[in-house]
Structure 1
Amino acid sequence: MADSRSGPQPIHSRSQGRRQSVLSEFIPESLPYPPSFLATSPIVREILARDIAECSSDDDSQTQVSDAESQTDGRPEDAKLAFHPNGVAYGSGYSTIAIQGLDRPVPNPREVEDSLQAEISLLRDNAILPPKHPRSQRNNVFWRLYRRLFSTKIKDHEDPEPIFQDAPVVETTPLLGGGTPEVDETLPTPPAEEIYERFEEAVAAQAIKTTWQRETKTLVQYAAPLIVTFLLHYSVTIGSVLTVGRLGMVELAAVNLATMTASITCYVPVQGLSTCLDTLCAQAYGSGHKHLVGLQAQRMTWLLWILMVPIAVLWWFSEPILSAMVPDQETASLAALFLRVLIVGMPGVAALESGKRFVQSQGLFHATTYALLIGAPVSFALNYLFVFKFDWHFAGAATAMAITQNLLPLLLVAYVRFLDGSQCWNGLTRKAFSNWGPMIKLALPGMIMIEAQFSVLEILTIAAGQFGTAQLAAQSVLVTVTSTSFNIPFPLAIATSTRVANLIGAHLSDAARVTARVAIVAGFIVGCFNLTVFVVLNETIPRIFTEDDEVVGIAKRVILVCALMQIFDALAAVSHGILRGVGRQAIGGYANLFSYYLVALPISLSTAFALDWKLSGLWTGLTMGLAVVSALELLYLYNADWESAVAQAEERMKSEDVSNEAKLSPA
């Protein structure tokens, strides 16, 4: 019996070198892959090695030993199907493609268990393990049709028996039909060690296949909780926009200008910088040095708080800058007021981004959701209380948002303190003020990429302000609506990247292709669903935000352009997720920047100003940019060499193996 610890066995393509397509079995010559994207792993090793060396006191050494001993016997190196939703910690909230992920995290015990269950599911689907439940052998037409459509079992889809062929009549056939209730033999599930070995043997023998039913079920299981989390997180912004929209057109325009400026100057850079914790915290936890998880989170929080000082000064004196951006002085003045109040919420924004990575690295993905389940309703209540009951008007909405921003990390702290996650927290330490250089070097690429993507939206917001207050107010409605709708395909893209990466890492390229096809179809369905909602409710949706007829009229027309954009938005997100899964995230990043700056932005500005399409022109350019992004990425996937992706994934994972004691132990 093969030992799974000996490493993955070489897999040879059944097509003998023929390149396989995601979209078709008949494909042209494929495009060559660029060099592997391996730059961050040495930095991660450097950071963790330095921290281990600095935390070598007697107390810390005892902590390290305790951490190592507390590792479960789950053999994380074999957890190839674990769910690592990196993107959950930095949901974008705007209609743009997310930044690429960093290194593949080390699985934690919870994810090891999830990986084990995923392997069991595939082994059962391929009849390598006995079924979980006794299976009825009814042979009537409807049961066979049900199995053909919904069963995840391979044997139900390979050479299936004719659906409408009558079953042979035998002595035991019931007179009233229905078939005999025969059952398959059900045996106990083998222990984890045996499952790992059987899985490796099956992979080496190319005996693992999957069905679109299995992959659909898996993607739904992965994406559903993320969709809830993302919608709850963005609901904090929605609450402020909905409340301000009741105050008037100028206020609605001002909140759009303020929140977009806050995102570009603060929220997006904070999210981009803190993405490095997706790797650092996960690698520290997975390597057995749990006390370093809290240290990394502390270090990033202090860094972000220091960076927020000049940003706070910029916000406090932002009125002259905003006045130069938009012609209406009242809008600029109110936006500056909103930003000044939001300064109070800055510490909470930084703490939440670090805190989400802190709990996520431990597999506590629902911790943020629980915090949002409390924080989101509180946000809506505070908006109503401050704006309408206390008569704070526009400043009340900003105050509600700032309080919520500080409340969410406190709720996360309460979860860690009283429920789970405290094992990685050793208290505040002065060591958090050392070893910043490598961390900043690791964090900067993420910040630059996501900042470059979001800057286009700020440019379009400023352009919308040139057409008057009503156009800017309508822009606020459209940005909020499209951002909300994007929180469905974006979690799907995260789930897709995880599943594809895991299957590629397990040398299951055929299964990864099935997942990619399912994800593309699912993205198209989601886009069509959003399109239908936008078209059918093209007037109802704007009236949820404002009663101003002029603003509603503008939004009603432009939302039809946004409706078409939904299909490309969803396809671009999903295709980027697939690229991230096969380690080709750089391709998506380049395609994204090219499409936004060389396609979307020129078309938006030319149609909006030269053709006088105004807001419709701005969104037309953005729609065409997303169409180009999705086309480029799908074309690349169409010509993708998946067997090469398997080989490169193996090399990439070797380079990212920071759990090796020789690399992590201090010199």
Structure 2
Amino acid sequence: MEDEHEPLLNRESRGNGNSFVEFEGDIEPTRSLGEFSREFAVESKKLWYLAGPAIFTSICQYSLGAITQAFAGHLGTLELAAVSMENSVIAGFSFGLLLGMGSALETLCGQAYGAGQLDMLGIYMQRSWVILITTALILSIFYVFATPFLILIGQDHRIAAAAGLFSLYMIPQLFAYAVYFPIQKFLQAQSRMMSMAVIASIALLLHTFFSWLVMIKLNWGMVGAAVVLNGSWWFIVVAQLVYIFCGSCGRAWSGFSWMAFRNLWGFVRLSVESAVMLCMNILGWAVMVAIGSNAATRLAKELFQVKNIHNVRVSNELGAGHPRTAKFSVVVVVTTSFILGFVLSMILLATKNDWPKAFTSSEEVKNLVSELTPLLCISIVVNNVQPVFSGVAIGAGWQGLVAYVNIGCYYIFGIPLGLLLGYKLDFGVKGIWNGMLAGTVVQTLILIWMTDRTNWNKEASIAGDRLKHWGGEVAKANDA
């Protein structure tokens, strides 16, 4: 007897002759409006079960740097500028690159978990550690020479020198990133989001107290800021490792293995493709943060977790051989993301003359932000839908193809158009922003077209082949 609570889309092989109809080579279930609504609610529950804790975790981790900057403001203007510059430019670049490279695990761990090949998750995480720690070693050169780099891009010499010194102090955080991102993807693939949220909340509370104690009470200044920020990130890493090593993940972690060093080149290639793909998306957000409203854009970016976590659902279902469930999850997350973006945009638009007052006392700045608010609203809606399809790409393992799409849309089309409108045609900030937005729109349309033409049964088969390729070594080892 079938379970009445089992999602309809997971009953893919048990329909009778009247349950399914052929549709362009794929099998589509016919549902009533009531069945569709129930299935939509089930998928939404799964999505928010992952996305809710992910949003909370992301906010806690973002707040670590923000709190450090807030306390640095009490030390002096130079200290605030130095910490902000390191946090946004030096650490921000490293964060985006390592996060992108770690996103390769979202495909492999997600599909392996969906297929029940839990033994491979720990191997994938260890391979990613090898690659990201090596990348961090290379990026540490960027930290060592941060001062001349900041001067090269036009930063004030005093600020560049102070930020460069603070960057040296923050090298331990760089390696914390390298260890953390594979752990994050490893746990997300297993839907272990609540443990991450609990650890992040404890880290935030400790970080706030010790930042006050060390920076203000003990007057350690920027050295204290570095000690506490490095310590907070390593607390998160160590706490999550203890959680994993204590057996909480079962078969997903069976200890360290030399197999982590096998087939590294293929893993490097997938990691680089993931980094290029994600860093292009981060570029679009960074431009809006720079020329739009920081606060509103940051809020929208945290809602990005709703869509970013969606690739876990896609990869899980493809790995489990449930192509229709993966396809339906796209419908759910697109609808959810559009509603979130639209509601936020309408709130900003309705209060465009009021909400800027909370962040600045300058009438000139308030008027500019109010004038740019309609463009910000459009950007939020577009950028709330676009990452959904990027998430589909990661979940399905299309990183290489989408990386080329992103490069073309941003570097060949969006950025040149923005520079042309902004400087050549004298549209200023609006011109630059419209150019970047146009690049995002083109990218979104291409990704929608790719997703619409996807044969999900074929993608499920490809996921199975991918797992055989990447998991063959473990299978052979187990047979031996």
Whether the 8 Å contact between 2:421 and 2:431 is mirrored in structure 1 is yes
Q: Where is the helix percentage greater, Structure 1 or Structure 2?
A: 2
Counterpart of 1:535 (choices 338, 349, 361) is: 349
- Return closer, same or farther for 1:441/1:423 CA change in 2, 3 Å cut-off: closer
Question: Is residue 2:37 matched to residue 1:213?
Answer: yes
Whether the 8 Å contact between 1:496 and 1:516 is mirrored in structure 2 is no
Question: Is residue 2:306 matched to residue 1:491?
Answer: yes
Whether the 8 Å contact between 2:382 and 2:440 is mirrored in structure 1 is yes
Q: Once the two structures are superposed, what CA deviation does each residue of 1:272-324 show, in whole Å capped at 9, x if it has no partner?
A: 3333444665677767674x654554454354334323322321221011111
Alignment-derived partner of residue 375 in structure 1: 203
* Secondary structure, counterpart of 1:120 in structure 2: coil
Shift of 1:483: 3.7
Question: Is residue 2:13 matched to residue 1:200?
Answer: yes
Which entry has the higher C-alpha Rg, 1 or 2? 1
Q: Once the two structures are superposed, what CA deviation does each residue of 1:488-507 show, in whole Å capped at 9, x if it has no partner?
A: 24423543773598389767
Alignment-derived partner of residue 442 in structure 2: 628
Q: Once the two structures are superposed, what CA deviation does each residue of 1:149-171 show, in whole Å capped at 9, x if it has no partner?
A: xxxxxxxxxxxxxxxxxxxxxxx
- Return closer, same or farther for 1:447/1:240 CA change in 2, 3 Å cut-off: same
Unaligned segments of structure 1, at least 5 residues: 2-115, 124-195, 465-473
Q: Which amino acid aligns with 1:521?
A: T
- Aligned identity (percent) is 18
Q: Once the two structures are superposed, what CA deviation does each residue of 1:448-500 show, in whole Å capped at 9, x if it has no partner?
A: 44246526866997x99xxxxxxxxx729845642431232442354377359
The whole-number CA distance in structure 2 between the counterparts of 1:648 and 1:632 is 20
Whether the 8 Å contact between 1:212 and 1:515 is mirrored in structure 2 is no
Shift of 1:217: 1.4
Residue correspondence of structure 1 range 441-456 to structure 2 within 5 A: 441-451=266-276, 453-454=278-279
* Secondary structure, counterpart of 1:601 in structure 2: helix
Counterpart of 2:66 (choices 238, 241, 253) is: 241
Q: Once the two structures are superposed, what CA deviation does each residue of 1:577-606 show, in whole Å capped at 9, x if it has no partner?
A: 455667766664443322211232113323
The whole-number CA distance in structure 2 between the counterparts of 1:369 and 1:342 is 24
Whether the 8 Å contact between 2:83 and 2:166 is mirrored in structure 1 is yes
Whether the 8 Å contact between 2:90 and 2:142 is mirrored in structure 1 is no
Whether the 8 Å contact between 1:270 and 1:353 is mirrored in structure 2 is yes
The whole-number CA distance in structure 2 between the counterparts of 1:500 and 1:493 is 12
Shift of 1:548: 6.8
Alignment-derived partner of residue 183 in structure 2: 355
Whether the 8 Å contact between 2:103 and 2:274 is mirrored in structure 1 is no
* Secondary structure, counterpart of 2:19 in structure 1: coil
The whole-number CA distance in structure 2 between the counterparts of 1:415 and 1:403 is 18
Alignment-derived partner of residue 573 in structure 1: 387
Shift of 1:343: 1.0
- Return closer, same or farther for 1:222/1:447 CA change in 2, 3 Å cut-off: farther
Alignment-derived partner of residue 55 in structure 1: none
Counterpart of 1:436 (choices 242, 253, 261) is: 261
Whether the 8 Å contact between 1:227 and 1:487 is mirrored in structure 2 is no
* Secondary structure, counterpart of 2:15 in structure 1: helix
Whether the 8 Å contact between 1:602 and 1:621 is mirrored in structure 2 is yes
- Greater mean deviation of Cα atoms: 657-666 or 415-424: 657-666
Q: Which amino acid aligns with 1:409?
A: V
Shift of 1:387: 4.5
Aligned residues: 461
The whole-number CA distance in structure 2 between the counterparts of 1:545 and 1:343 is 31
Counterpart of 1:475 (choices 275, 290, 296) is: 290
Unaligned segments of structure 2, at least 5 residues: 21-28
Shift of 1:652: 1.1
Alignment-derived partner of residue 7 in structure 2: 121
Q: Which amino acid aligns with 1:202?
A: G
The whole-number CA distance in structure 2 between the counterparts of 1:338 and 1:616 is 34
* Secondary structure, counterpart of 1:201 in structure 2: coil
The whole-number CA distance in structure 1 between the counterparts of 2:6 and 2:134 is 48
Counterpart of 1:401 (choices 212, 217, 229) is: 229
The whole-number CA distance in structure 2 between the counterparts of 1:458 and 1:499 is 24
Residue correspondence of structure 1 range 644-663 to structure 2 within 5 A: 645-658=455-468
Q: CA RMSD in A?
A: 4.4
Q: Which amino acid aligns with 1:200?
A: S
Whether the 8 Å contact between 1:227 and 1:488 is mirrored in structure 2 is no
Alignment-derived partner of residue 97 in structure 2: 269
Whether the 8 Å contact between 1:345 and 1:401 is mirrored in structure 2 is yes
Shift of 1:525: 1.4
The whole-number CA distance in structure 2 between the counterparts of 1:508 and 1:284 is 15
- Return closer, same or farther for 1:481/1:337 CA change in 2, 3 Å cut-off: farther
